[in-house]
Amino acid sequence: MSSKGRFFPVRYRMVFGTFILAMIVLFDRILISVAKDPVATDLGLSDKQMGWVLSIFALGYALFQTPSGYLADKFGARKVLTAVVTLWSIFTALTGAVYNFVALIIVRFLFGVGEAGAFPSMARAVFNWIPVKERGLVHGINFSGGRIGAAIALPMVAWLIDFTSWRMSFVILGAIGVLWALIWYWWYRDSPENHASVDENELKIIKKNTQEVSSNKESISFKKLFKSKAMWLMMGQYFSSNFTFFFCLTWLFPHLKAKYNLDMVEAGFYSSAPLIFGALGNWVSGWLVDVIYRKGKWSLSRKLPAIIGFSLAAIGIVASIYMNEVVGAVVFISLAVFGADMTLSPSWSVCLDIGKEHSGTVSGTMNMAGNLGSFFTALAFPYMIAFTGSNTPFFFLAAVLNLLAIPMWLAVKPQKPLQLT
């Protein structure tokens, strides 16, 4: 084996590719939040209409999670990721061409439909390529890519909009996505043994430490999937996690900009801080998942990081309400996002644990519920302010959801695979 292969195995190169994709996913997703003011001004949209623009993505994203996960299980992550990344990149670019509210709603919904296939397909790739003992950190790395991408995007996109226009910014990011899709299709293979660069030693490591797949080729029963208690527990807790995090991708930037009288670039830098802490939360949690798992405590390796995370999220989101200065508010929102993102690695690890050969479908179903949480976040913030005259009830609602997720995690049994055929 070459020194390059020894120190940077092919499976880690695959993870690097999915890490870059996660950055692109969040880069494309957060652009509309940063562009809110110029988009609203050009198209004559109110805050409530912008709430629908921000949330309609999450609805399309949520509704197509399970179908896209099923397609990844059936056709493989190579074809499905290539197709969905190309699809959403086209609609990213088309966002720059809209001239009214209805067209913007349609394009953003279809953008969400395309992005729905990203993380379930990545989960399927991880199941095929990554040993169980490495999956916690790999999930942490992948989701941290999204947070780092969003953090970079906030100030960079603000600059890009000033330098070009909000319309051209969408076109540029769409082109980057198409380029990634072409490289992925050329390089990736669904089975490690079909990749020319994987040698026998690495293949042995992968095959020895991955879960056995059932030889039963029956079709998945969606009735059994949605009757499963374990599936509903994972869906419920992920709804809570996404309700907190999606605020950062939708209303945090305009919220900080308006409340603390910031310009666009200042708001971009302050809004990026919680996302950096989200990346740290993913790394810490992924590391903790793997460390505890290697000590033979499979169940605890999933539950403990998630419970710690939801506790921190509840504390941070409530404390942020009482901060009068932007720095204090950002510190506690960062703590909340650090905690919320600590729940991601254990969540997706459990989906692979209980889903096995149906891991794409199971993880997609969990992510569907999570992004219904995202959909409600984007609408709840402006509507609750309009109804109550304050943003405080929204933050308390987020804290309550985080606390409710803790008993859900106590009931999770990662060692018990779902019987779905």
Structure confidence by residue, pLDDT tens digits, 19-42: 999 999 888 887 887 888 899 999
Position 203 pLDDT exceeds 90: no
pLDDT of residue 5: 47
Place of tokens 């999937």: 225
| CATH architecture label of 3-210+219-410 | Up-down Bundle (1.20)
- Helix (H) or strand (E) run with residue 222 in it: helix 222-227
pLDDT of residue 3: 40
Position 217 pLDDT exceeds 70: no
- Residue pair 74/220 in contact (Cβ under 8 Å)? The answer is no
pLDDT of residue 1: 40
Q: Can you tell me the distance from the alpha carbon of 379 to that of 250, in angstroms, rounded to the nearest whole number? A: 10
Work out the widest C-alpha separation in the chain, in whole angstroms: 65
SS3 of 318, please? Answer: helix
Structure tokens at 384: 């609750």
Confidence at 266, pLDDT banded by 50, 70, 90: confident
Q: Can you tell me the distance from the alpha carbon of 239 to that of 368, in angstroms, rounded to the nearest whole number? A: 9
Confidence at 346, pLDDT banded by 50, 70, 90: very high
Phi-psi sector, 44: left (phi>0), alpha (psi -120 to 50), beta: left
- Residue pair 149/22 in contact (Cβ under 8 Å)? The answer is yes
What average pLDDT score do residues 180-200 get? 92
Structure confidence by residue, pLDDT tens digits, 153-164: 777 888 888 888
Structure confidence by residue, pLDDT tens digits, 96-144: 999 999 999 999 999 999 998 898 899 889 888 888 888 888 888 888 8
Confidence at 399, pLDDT banded by 50, 70, 90: very high
What average pLDDT score do residues 405-413 get? 94
136-150, 165-179, 201-215, 311-325: which range is least confident on average?
Answer: 201-215
The pLDDT mean for the chain works out to: 87
> pTM surpassing 0.85?
no
